[in-house]
Structure 1
Amino acid sequence: MQHQEVPRRAIQTSMVPVSTRVKSIGPKLIPFLKTFCIYFVLWLPTSEPSWFSALIKCLPVLCLAFFVLAHGYSTGQYPSYSRKVLTGLLFSALGDVFLTWGDQGFFIHGMLMFGISHILYSWAFGLRPLRLWLALILLALGAVYYTAVYSYLQGTMVYAMVGYVLVLGLMSWRGMARAGCSRYERSWSRGCTAAGAVVFVASDLILAIDRFCFALPHARAVVMSTYYTAQMLITLSVVERSDRDHLWKRN
Structure 2
Amino acid sequence: MVSPATVVKSEGPKLVPFFKATCVYFVLWLPTSSPSWFSALIKCLPIFCLWVFLLAHGFGFLGARSSARKILAGLIFSALGDAFLIWQEQGYFIHGILMFAVTHVLYSSAFGMRPLNASAGLVLSAVSSLSYLLLYPYLSGPFTYLVGVYVGLIGFMGWRAVAGLQLANDLWTWTKMSACLGAVLFMVSDLTIAVNKFCFPVPYSRFFIMATYYAAQMLIALSAVQCQDVTVARKRV
Please give the TM-score of this superposition, normalised by the length of structure 1.
0.87
Q: Does 1:201 align with 2:187?
A: yes
Q: Give the unaligned 5+ runs of structure 1.
A: 1-14
Q: Which residue of 2 aligns with 1:60?
A: 46
Shift of 1:224: 0.1
Tell me which amino acid in the other structure corresponds to 1:136. L
- Shift in CA distance, 22/156, structure 1 to aligned 2, threshold 3 Å: same
Q: Percent identity?
A: 51
Indicate whether 1:191 and 2:177 are aligned: yes
- Indicate the SS of the match to 2:226: helix
Partner of 1:167 in structure 2?
A: 153
Pair 1:89-2:75 in alignment:
yes
Residue of structure 1 in register with 2:219 after alignment? 233
Judge conservation of contact 2:108–2:157 (CA < 8 Å) in 1: yes
Question: Helix, strand or coil: the match of 1:180?
Answer: coil
Q: For 1:56 and 1:220, how far apart are their aligned partners in 2?
A: 15
Tell me what 2:85 maps to. 99
1:184–1:134 distance in 2 versus 1, CA, 3 Å: closer
State how many pairs are aligned: 235
Alpha-carbon deviations, 1:160-188, whole Å to 9, x = none?
00110010001000001111267463211
Paired residue for 2:115? 129
Cα deviation for residue 62 of structure 1 reads: 1.1
Asked if 2 retains the 8 angstrom alpha-carbon contact of 1:142 and 1:165, the reply is yes
CA distance 1:185–1:137, change in 2 (3 Å): closer
Are positions 1:69 and 2:40 aligned together? Answer: no
Aligned letter for 1:31? P
* Cα separation, 2, equivalents of 1:134 and 1:175: 10
The residue type paired with residue 179 of structure 1 is L
CA separation of 1:76/1:136 partners in 2, compared to 1, >3 Å: closer, same or farther?
Answer: closer
Match of 2:103 in 1: 117
Q: Deviations over 1:61-115 (max 9, x none)?
A: 1111110110235858541111011000000000001101111111011011001
Match of 2:138 in 1: 152
- Counterpart Cα distance in 1 of 2:134 and 2:153: 18
Q: Secondary structure at the match of 2:114?
A: coil
Structure 1 counterpart of 2:29, from 43, 65, 69 = 43
One of 18, 30, 33 as aligned partner of 1:32: 18
Q: Gaps spanning 5+ residues in structure 2: where?
A: none
User: Under a length normalisation based on structure 2, what TM-score does the superposition of the two structures give?
Assistant: 0.91
